[in-house]
């Protein structure tokens, strides 16, 4: 499973990219607002930090303007994935971009039927919003499973990018079902490494090591080499 980080915060992206865990980045208008940055400038910086796909979302809701905006965003860097909403205008823009050989991420997906349309429109990524479905009492993971089955039935190459991920269990369940990518907020990506038994075990090792009075020192290796 690939991990994308769902943020436009440059400091967070830089820090997490150093772990080797960041395969791409997703942004959206709300994340650009949160960053307080100009979309072109911040997206250019993100694309320079992360070689994988960087999703940048159009702002318009009509196909013609989406197409103009998407082409402008794609000109920022070769690793841009143009993000469009799952509407008929968005699907039309998706088909235009796909025919031009551009990567498209179709976002705001809440049903398997919508995901089928995105695949037929040539999307490189479909973004089902797991957490927002959970928020209204549905099971977002059921949607991931339905899309996996449909895409596998027909051999669609569109990648399932599990979005609106709220915690470790979402990542685990999406991986078990076979989502290709999870886009996760920085806090969730960091939390994947946490386990209370890891903390407890490490504290014990640190305490016991201190009692040995030893140091791991390369200068004591001797002159064999």
Which residues have a catalytic role annotated? 83
Residue 132 near ligand G3P by CB under 6 A: yes
Residue 26 near ligand G3P by CB under 6 A: yes
Nearest by Cα to 84 from 131, 28, 13: 28
Residue 151 near ligand G3P by CB under 6 A: no
Residue 3 near ligand G3P by CB under 6 A: no
CB of 152 to ligand G3P, least distance (A): 23
Residue 168 near ligand G3P by CB under 6 A: no
SS3 state of residue 47: helix
Residue 167 near ligand G3P by CB under 6 A: no
Nearest by Cα to 27 from 2, 144, 45: 45
Q: Which residue minimizes CB distance to ligand G3P?
A: 164
Could you write out the DSSP letters of every residue in 165-192?
--SHHHHHHHHHHT-SEEEE-HHHHHHT
Nearer to ligand G3P, 33 or 203 (CB): 33
85 DSSP 8-state letter: E
Radius of gyration of the chain measured on its C-alpha atoms: 21
Dihedral pair phi/psi, residue 46, rounded to 5°: -65, -45
Residue 163 near ligand G3P by CB under 6 A: yes
Tokens for 24? 């791409």
Kindly determine how many residues on this chain lie close enough to bind ligand G3P according to the rule CB under 6 A: 9
CB of 92 to ligand G3P, least distance (A): 22
Which residue in the set 119, 183, 188, 189 belongs to the binding site for ligand G3P (CB under 6 A)?
183
Tokens for 137? 């009492």
Residue 96 near ligand G3P by CB under 6 A: no
192 DSSP 8-state letter: T
Q: What is the distance between the alpha carbons of residues 47 and 37, in angstroms, rounded to a whole number?
A: 15
Nearer to ligand G3P, 154 or 162 (CB): 162
Residue 105 near ligand G3P by CB under 6 A: no
CB of 83 to ligand G3P, least distance (A): 8
The enclosing H or E element of 115 equals: helix 112-120
Q: Which residues bind ligand G3P (CB under 6 A)?
A: 6, 26, 28, 129, 131-132, 163-164, 183
């Amino acid at each position: 499973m690939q991990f994308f980080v769902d943020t436009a915060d440059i400091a967070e992206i830089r820090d997490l990219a150093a772990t080797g865990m960041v395969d791409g980045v997703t942004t959206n208008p709300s994340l650009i607002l949160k960053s307080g940055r100009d979309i072109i400038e911040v997206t250019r910086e993100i694309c320079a930090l992360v070689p994988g796909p960087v999703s940048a979302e159009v702002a318009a809701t009509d196909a013609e303007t989406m197409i103009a905006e998407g082409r402008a965003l794609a000109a920022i860097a070769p690793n841009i994935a143009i993000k469009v909403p799952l509407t008929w205008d968005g699907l039309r823009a998706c088909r235009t971009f796909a025919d031009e050989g551009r990567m498209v991420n179709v976002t705001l997906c809440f049903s398997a039927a919508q995901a089928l349309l995105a695949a037929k429109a040539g999307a490189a990524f479909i973004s089902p919003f797991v957490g927002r479905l959970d928020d209204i009492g549905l099971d977002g993971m059921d949607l991931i499973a339905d899309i996996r089955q449909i895409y596998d039935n027909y051999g669609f190459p569109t990648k399932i990018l599990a979005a609106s991920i709220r915690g470790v269990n979402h990542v685990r369940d999406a991986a078990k079902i076979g989502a290709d990518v999870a886009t996760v907020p920085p806090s969730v990506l960091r939390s994947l490494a946490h386990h209370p038994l890891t903390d407890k075990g490490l504290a014990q090792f640190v305490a016991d090591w201190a009692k040995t009075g030893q140091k791991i020192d390369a200068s004591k290796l001797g002159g064999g080499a």
